[in-house]
Amino acid sequence: MAENSKIEWTDATWNPVTGCSKISVGCKNCYAERMAKRLQLMGQSRYKNGFQVTLHYDLVGRPLQWYKSRRIFVNSMSDLFHENVPFDFIKQVFKTMQRCPHHIFQVLTKRSERLREVSHLLQWPPNVWMGVTVEHGTLLHRIEDLRQVPATVRFLSCEPLLAPLSTLPLKGIHWVIVGGESGPQSREMQFQWVEGILRQCEQQRVPFFFKQWGGINKYRSGRTLLGRTYDELPCFTTQAHD
């Protein structure tokens, strides 16, 4: 399993779960599904089931072996709160995160309803950042669900951004990531959509991170916005990450 990551807002990935299923409009061109199918064809044993939800019990304790502090994206190839992930397995993942206070764990889900329902049954150490994906205005309810989660850092990933989000409710939100869709058949993101979110974050003093413009070649498109790069992180960063 990959450990170091090229994702701009994290340092490493940890995938005790692989595989997922489509739940909203942002899932249409899922990068993780494309990668999983490619790895299956290459004979990678972790992906013998393709993109079906698969639990990797032997990887639950992997971060305990990483001694240097890092930001770790949890389940970049899945969704920890998928309905096919047993709650006991989620608890094991959280136990590992508790035992690694030198790391920051970035958990991201589209399944905010389940997150809300089980969050009070989990322990939330300050090094666990919890986020939801909000790629379209019809999905703002995910933010309301996230607000009920007792995480020290609550964040939004507006990626792939597919429509303007002109009235983002940012109270209780500590970080916003914005990015365009990349890869074949990627859907275009408008400059006005990105600038609109940036201005809302500035007005409400929420750190803003611009990940990419996306497109078929995301590296050519770059990640510069208004002549600069936005790499802001939550203010809690310096307390838990060097």
- Transcribe 155-208 into DSSP letters: EEEE-S--S--TT---TT--EEEEE--BSTTPPP--HHHHHHHHHHHHHHT--E
Q: What is the model's pLDDT at position 235?
A: 82
Q: What is the model's pLDDT at position 236?
A: 66
Indicate the SS3 state at residue 229: strand
Q: What is the model's pLDDT at position 3?
A: 77
- Find residue 19's DSSP bridge partners: 78
Q: What is the model's pLDDT at position 239?
A: 41
Low-confidence ranges of the chain (pLDDT < 70): 1-2, 236-242
pLDDT for 46-83, tens place per residue?
A: 999 999 999 999 999 999 999 999 999 999 999 999 99
Question: What is the CA 79 to chain-centroid distance, rounded?
Answer: 9
Question: What is the CA 101 to chain-centroid distance, rounded?
Answer: 19
Q: What is the model's pLDDT at position 154?
A: 98
Q: What is the model's pLDDT at position 89?
A: 98
Residue ranges per structural domain of the chain? 61-240
- pTM for the full model? 0.95
Q: Please give the Cα distance from 92 to 63 (Å, whole number).
A: 13
Indicate the SS3 state at residue 133: strand
